[in-house]
Amino acid sequence: MSSSQHFSDWLVNAEQAARSGGDFVVAILERILQEASACDASDVHFQPGKYAVEIRFRLDGVLHKIGELPSEHAAQTAARLKVLANLLTYKTASPQEGRVRSNRVPNVLKEMRISTAPTLYGERVVVRFFSEENRFHYPDELGFSDDLLQNLLRTIRKNAGAILVTGPAGSGKTTTAYALLRELADRSETLRSIVTLEDPIEHALDRVAQIETPHQGELTLRDMIKYMMRQDPEVLFVGEIRDRETAEASLQAALTGHLLITTFHAGSAADAVGRLCEIGIEPFVLRSGVSCVLCQRLVRRLCECAETPKSREPLTLEIDREKFTLSAYRLPKGCPKCGGTGYRGRALIAESLPLNDDEVMRGVLDRRETSTLRNLAKQGGMIPISARAVSLMESGVTSPHEIRRVFGGN
Ligand SMILES: [Zn+2]
């Protein structure tokens, strides 16, 4: 990837292109999008400020400033991006959304989604890349530990019950859900009827009936779930549970002989159960309807340039309000290969609530606090995500800095 010191080279090249009859903004945008695509950025931000438009790339989940364009080019930059997505260039006072087809920008083979919004200093444009193929197809390619993987594969073979894939924003929940659906669609011994309700549909899946949740009209997600029940589904994927109505309708499906896969925003597996109770789901519904509560995070992997700290003192850090002392760890450094960030790629860590454990189930039914549930789960054999994080640091896969960033501890 190219770091900010290369941005000045991109500018020089664009100026040269302009002198030989081209257009500066067209040339620099082409370069920015090509570089972003080449280094696998997920998003590019064109953030207008008082004096300049800041260009940022999101790499492995983290935003990096790449460079600045003088604000004299701000309006034309936004206009050019809108042209690429067939949006109305004169419409600058309200948000717009559009898609840019693969290869519309030379050498950018990924499809892009562009969204604009009016801000104090002009239009802010965010470009999101769609990889034409999700890189991780099946659950065994996601990086789950073997115990969690086997548990997931066992659970999706069942004919009923819910699999809740939980975690904070950006923790890869959708990728996991898609991988489970692909496993069911492509690798089941018998043909299964799979229906999804998504907002939006992120990837097309073979042998799966994917339905985008309607935004207009009277139909709610809950209504849609009810309609889908008449479509003779065996497996139902509900993109995300956000409220009581959706949770109830989805879990009802899981209780009546359908395998349900859904995602839910939560900080830990125990927290997910607590939050479902909070929004009004009865504990006995969770007991009978839920087969698996997975919670996951993505952490950046250290690049091979990482170094071992000179000081041999053990490091203490807190994850999920629990203190750990590291016997060994490595620190990010930065090299041309990782664009100076010190990281390349991401690793997945996860935990799964042992719902077959009597004590854990009693804790759920008694509406015990999240911290109590977590302790019961650990006694019941759950390897908490914090312990998985510690082993990733000790084996040098990721750094204490990254774990602090992801878990927000001290
Ligand atoms: Zn490096």
Residues 295 and 396 in one domain: yes
CA of 302 to the centre of ligand 1 (A): 8
Out of 109, 130, 151, a domain closes at 130
CA of 296 to the centre of ligand 1 (A): 26
Residues 397 and 286 in one domain: yes
Residue 410 has pLDDT above 80, yes or no: no
pLDDT of res. 1: 47
The model's confidence at residue 310, banded by pLDDT at 50, 70 and 90, is confident
Residues 108 and 212 in one domain: no
- Which tokens is 23 given? 């257009």
- Write out pLDDT tens, residues 298-309: 999 999 999 999
- Its domain, for residue 29, covers 4-130
Residues 106 and 143 in one domain: no
pTM of the model: 0.84
Tell me which residue of 137, 14, 13, 140 sits closest to 77, measured CA to CA: 14
Residue 2 has pLDDT above 50, yes or no: no
pLDDT of res. 91: 93
One-letter amino acid at 392 equals L
Q: Nearest 5°: CA angle at 99, between 49 and 43?
A: 45
Helix 385-394 / helix 400-407 crossing angle, nearest 10 deg: 160
CA of 125 to the centre of ligand 1 (A): 30
CA of 126 to the centre of ligand 1 (A): 27
The model's confidence at residue 313, banded by pLDDT at 50, 70 and 90, is confident
- Which tokens is 188 given? 């089941």
> Are residues 327 and 314 in contact, defined by beta-carbon separation less than 8 angstroms?
yes
CA of 329 to the centre of ligand 1 (A): 16
> Are residues 311 and 394 in contact, defined by beta-carbon separation less than 8 angstroms?
no
Stretch 356-382: mean pLDDT: 94
- Which tokens is 189 given? 């011994």
CA of 6 to the centre of ligand 1 (A): 16
Residues 400 and 348 in one domain: yes
> Are residues 373 and 379 in contact, defined by beta-carbon separation less than 8 angstroms?
no
Residues 365 and 259 in one domain: yes
Residues 102 and 185 in one domain: no
CATH of the domain at 302: 3.40.50.300
- For the beta carbon of residue 8, count every other beta carbon within 10 angstroms: 10
pLDDT of res. 146: 96
Stretch 231-251: mean pLDDT: 94
Residues 117 and 143 in one domain: no
CA of 332 to the centre of ligand 1 (A): 8
Residue 188: partners with Cβ closer than 8 Å, 6 or more residues away: none
DSSP-derived pairing of the beta strands 235-238 and 259-265: parallel
Residue 16 has pLDDT above 60, yes or no: yes
Give the span between the Cα atoms of 342 and 389, in whole angstroms. 18
Cα–Cα distances in Å, from 152 out to 144, 145, 162, 270? 10, 11, 11, 17
CA of 363 to the centre of ligand 1 (A): 46
- Write out pLDDT tens, residues 154-178: 999 999 999 999 999 889 999 999 9
The model's confidence at residue 134, banded by pLDDT at 50, 70 and 90, is low
How many angstroms from the chain centroid is the CA of residue 207? 24
- For the beta carbon of residue 308, count every other beta carbon within 10 angstroms: 11
CATH of the domain at 58: 3.30.450.90
Give the span between the Cα atoms of 367 and 220, in whole angstroms. 29
**Which ranges of 23-73 does DSSP label H, i.e. alpha helix?**
24-38
Cα–Cα distances in Å, from 355 out to 255, 291, 320? 16, 7, 21
The model's confidence at residue 39, banded by pLDDT at 50, 70 and 90, is confident
260 - beta bridge partners?
162, 236
Out of 66, 95, 130, a domain closes at 130
CA of 20 to the centre of ligand 1 (A): 37
CA of 60 to the centre of ligand 1 (A): 14
Specify the number of domains making up the chain: 2
pLDDT of res. 124: 97
The model's confidence at residue 409, banded by pLDDT at 50, 70 and 90, is low
Out of 111, 130, 149, a domain closes at 130
Residue 357: partners with Cβ closer than 8 Å, 6 or more residues away: 376, 377, 380, 381
pLDDT-above-90 percentage for the chain:
83
Residue 25 has pLDDT above 80, yes or no: yes
Residues 191 and 173 in one domain: yes
Residues 318 and 398 in one domain: yes
CA of 344 to the centre of ligand 1 (A): 7
CA of 144 to the centre of ligand 1 (A): 25
Residues 163 and 254 in one domain: yes
CA of 46 to the centre of ligand 1 (A): 26
CA of 308 to the centre of ligand 1 (A): 14
Give the span between the Cα atoms of 271 and 266, in whole angstroms. 6
Q: What is the mean pLDDT of the chain?
A: 92
> Are residues 241 and 263 in contact, defined by beta-carbon separation less than 8 angstroms?
yes
**Which ranges of 188-324 does DSSP label H, i.e. alpha helix?**
221-229, 244-255, 269-278, 283-289
CA of 345 to the centre of ligand 1 (A): 11
Residues 86 and 112 in one domain: yes
